[in-house]
C-alpha cells in the first residue's frame, strides 16, 4: 500500500492538530464564560480568570502557528518520536477533564499565579518560535534569538512551570500521574528534536555548546 506524500501527511497532521486544539479552546472558553458570569470578583478569582485566559491564548497561538508553519527540512524517523510527541503534547490537555478539589485559598492563589506566569512565558516562547513550531520532532528553521538565547528549549521549561501550577491547584493523584507522564514524554520529545536539529543544521552544535538545554546559567543572561 502506497503511503500518502509528505505534503498530504503534513496537511492531515495540521488539520488534526487544529481540530483538536480548537475543540479544547471551545471547552475552555465556555467554562470561562460561565466563571465570569457567576460569583463575586476577588483577587484569587481574578488571577484564576487571568490564568484561564492565558491558557486559551497559548492554545490559540499554537493553532495559528500550526496552520502557518514552514515546511520541514528534516523529520524524525520511526514510531517512537511520533508517539512521544503526541503523548507529551496531549497529556496535559486531558487535565481539563479532571474535577478540581477544594484546597486552601492561599495555595489556590499561588497555583494560579504560577500557572498564569507559565502560560504567559509559553506565549512569549511560542511567539519567537513562530512558524518553526511543530508537534512531532521536525527541523524547520533554527531559532536562537529571544528566549532561545537563554536556553535551547525554553518552551518545554515554561510548560513545566504550568504543570507545577496545575498540580498545586488540583493536588490529586491523577493530576500528579498525568503531569509525570507528560514530563517524561516531553523529555523524550526534546531529545528527539535535538537529534533532528543537529542533523539539519550544522551550526546547532556550536549553539548547543554555549546555550544550556533547559536551566539558564548566569552567562545566558549576559
What is the CATH number for 139?
1.20.120.1630
pLDDT band at 184 (very low <50, low <70, confident <90, very high): very high
In a domain, 1, yes or no: no
For residue range 32-63, list pLDDT tens digits in order: 777 677 767 777 778 888 888 888 888 888 88
In a domain, 216, yes or no: yes
pTM of the model: 0.85
pLDDT of residue 117: 94
Q: How many CB atoms lie within 10 A of CB 94?
A: 13
Task: Tell me which DSSP letter residue 99 carries.
Answer: P
C-alpha dist (Å) from residue 199 to 74, 128, 143? 8, 22, 15
pLDDT of residue 14: 67
In a domain, 214, yes or no: yes
In a domain, 190, yes or no: yes
pLDDT of residue 67: 79
pLDDT of residue 5: 63
Q: Which domain holds residue 37?
A: 6-221
Residues 6 or more apart from 134 whose CB is under 8 A from it?
A: 66, 69, 72, 140
Task: Provide the b/e sequence for 7-41 (b: ≥16 CB within 10 Å).
Answer: eeebeebbeebeebbeebbeebeeebeeeeeeeee
For residue range 94-126, list pLDDT tens digits in order: 776 677 778 888 888 999 899 999 999 999 999
Please give the mean pLDDT across all residues of the chain.
Answer: 84
pLDDT of residue 222: 63
Query: Long-range contacts for 98-101 (Cβ within 8 Å, ≥24 apart)?
Result: 98/170, 98/172, 98/174, 98/175, 98/178, 100/169, 100/170, 101/170, 101/171, 101/172
For residue range 132-152, list pLDDT tens digits in order: 888 888 899 999 999 999 999
pLDDT of residue 53: 86
What is the count of structural domains for the chain? 1
Which of the residue ranges 2-11, 150-159, 202-211 would you say has the lowest mean pLDDT? 2-11
The C-alpha angle with vertex 158 and arms to 127 and 130, in degrees rounded to 5, equals 15
For residue range 1-37, list pLDDT tens digits in order: 555 666 666 666 667 777 777 777 777 777 777 767 7
Which of the residue ranges 60-69, 74-83, 160-169, 176-185 would you say has the lowest mean pLDDT? 60-69
In a domain, 82, yes or no: yes
pLDDT of residue 108: 87
| Positive or negative: CA dihedral 74, 79, 80, 82 | positive
Amino acid at each position: 500500500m502506497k503511503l500518502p506524500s509528505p505534503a498530504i501527511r503534513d496537511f492531515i497532521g495540521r488539520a488534526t492538530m487544529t481540530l483538536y486544539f480548537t475543540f479544547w479552546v471551545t471547552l475552555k472558553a465556555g467554562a470561562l464564560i460561565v466563571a465570569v458570569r457567576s460569583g463575586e470578583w476577588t483577587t484569587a478569582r481574578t488571577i484564576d480568570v487571568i490564568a484561564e485566559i492565558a491558557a486559551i491564548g497559548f492554545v490559540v497561538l499554537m493553532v495559528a502557528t500550526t496552520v502557518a508553519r514552514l515546511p520541514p527540512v528534516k523529520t524524525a524517523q520511526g514510531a517512537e518520536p511520533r508517539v512521544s510527541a503526541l503523548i507529551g503534547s496531549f497529556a496535559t490537555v486531558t487535565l481539563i477533564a479532571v474535577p478540581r478539589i477544594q484546597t486552601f485559598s492561599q495555595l489556590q492563589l499561588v497555583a494560579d499565579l504560577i500557572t498564569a506566569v507559565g502560560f504567559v512565558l509559553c506565549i512569549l516562547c511560542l511567539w519567537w518560535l513562530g512558524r518553526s513550531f511543530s508537534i512531532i520532532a521536525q527541523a524547520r528553521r533554527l531559532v536562537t534569538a529571544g528566549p532561545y538565547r537563554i536556553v535551547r528549549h525554553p518552551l518545554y521549561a515554561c510548560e513545566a512551570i504550568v504543570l507545577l501550577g496545575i498540580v498545586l491547584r488540583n493536588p490529586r493523584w491523577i493530576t500528579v500521574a498525568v503531569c509525570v507522564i507528560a514530563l517524561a514524554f516531553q523529555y523524550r520529545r526534546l531529545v528527539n528534536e535535538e537529534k533532528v536539529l543537529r542533523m539539519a543544521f550544522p551550526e546547532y552544535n556550536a549553539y548547543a555548546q554555549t546555550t544550556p538545554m533547559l536551566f539558564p546559567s548566569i552567562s545566558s543572561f549576559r
